[in-house]
Amino acid sequence: MPYGKLEEFSQEGYIDFSKIDTEFIKLHTWKYYGYENTMTLNWGLDAYTDPGKIITDVQFEFYNDEGLVARITHPSYTSYNGSFTDYIVLNKKYGNGNILDTNSDGTLISSSNETGILKSNSLYLVKIIIT
C-alpha cells in the first residue's frame, strides 16, 4: 500500500491576524454539482467575528424561475473558517415537505421546502445568508 498525501482529505488555509476582530467575512469557495439523485455543495468561508460574537448558522436559499424552492440551514459549528462539503438528496420529499439529510460528517442539515423539492437537471440561483 503506497503512502503519501491524500489530496481529497487535505485542508489548506491560513489565519490573517490583521483581520481578527474586524467582522470580516468572505466566501472563498463555492461550487455545487448536481448528479442524478444528489447535489454536492462545496463552500468555504474566511470568518473573523468580533469577540463574543459567533456565526449561529449559514443558510442556503435555492431559487428557480418561479421563486424560492428550498431553504437549507447548515448546522452550527464552533468556527466557520475553512471549507465544507454537504450532500443533499434530490427529487425526494421527506415527511411534511421538509428535506432532512446528513452532511459528510454525519451532522443534520434540514430545510423547509417553500414551493417544491430540489430537482436534478435544474439550475438554481443560491443566496447564502450568514447570521
Domain harbouring 33, CATH code: 2.60.40
Distances in whole angstroms, Cα of residue 46 to Cα of each of 6, 16, 27, 98: 23, 9, 7, 30
pLDDT given at position 10? 57
Does the residue 91 lie in any domain?
Answer: yes
- pTM here? 0.71
Does the residue 80 lie in any domain?
Answer: yes
pLDDT at 127 over 80: yes
Which range, 40-44, 49-53, 66-70, 76-80, has the best average confidence (pLDDT)? 40-44
Q: Tens digit of pLDDT for each residue in 26-58?
A: 898 899 888 888 888 899 988 888 888 888 888
Neighbour count for residue 111 (Cβ, 10 Å): 23
**How many domains does the chain contain in total?**
1
Q: How far apart are CA 12 and CA 62, in angstroms?
A: 28
Does the residue 1 lie in any domain?
Answer: no
Q: What b-and-e string marks burial along 26-50, b requiring 16 or more CB atoms within 10 Å of the CB?
A: eeeeeeeebeeebbebebbbbbbbe
Q: Which residue has the cell 454525519?
A: 106
Report, as an integer, the average pLDDT of 92-98.
Answer: 48
Q: How far apart are CA 62 and CA 115, in angstroms?
A: 11
Does the residue 44 lie in any domain?
Answer: yes
Does the residue 107 lie in any domain?
Answer: yes
Full domain range(s) for residue 49: 16-130
Does the residue 10 lie in any domain?
Answer: no
Distances in whole angstroms, Cα of residue 129 to Cα of each of 11, 37, 93: 24, 25, 23
Does the residue 108 lie in any domain?
Answer: yes
